[in-house]
Amino acid sequence: MARVVALADAFDAMTSDRPYRKGVAPVAAFAEIQKMSGSQFDPHFTAAFLSIQDDIVREMKVGVTTRPPEQRTKKVPTCEPTVRLS
């Protein structure tokens, strides 16, 4: 399960806009995942992930265009440290 999540998380991290950088195009993220297959990513899961590229891109477009505006941006929860160092 962790190997699948690692792929999805890496793809999302690469393609999502961050406050400090713009997300890369899906094609660039797929290329990076392919490049790292066998070292950072399990080659079997990478092959399966890359075999559904068209579906992933289609879902990305649907998610952006059909969600209400308040659901189009990700909200990152904040957390307060439980221990404060002085």
What string of pLDDT tens digits covers the 86 residues of the chain? 889 899 999 999 999 999 999 999 999 999 999 999 999 999 999 999 999 999 889 888 876 555 566 665 555 445 555 555 55
Long-range contacts, 56-61 (Cβ 8 Å, 24+): 56/11, 56/26, 57/26, 60/15, 60/26
Q: Which of 7, 52, 54 is nearest to 32 (CA)?
A: 7
Taking a C-beta distance cutoff of 8 angstroms, is the pair 15, 24 a contact?
yes
60, with CB counted inside 10 A (0-12, 13-18, 19+), is middle
The Cβ of residue 49 has, within 10 Å, a number of other Cβ atoms equal to 21
Q: What is residue 29's three-state secondary structure? A: helix
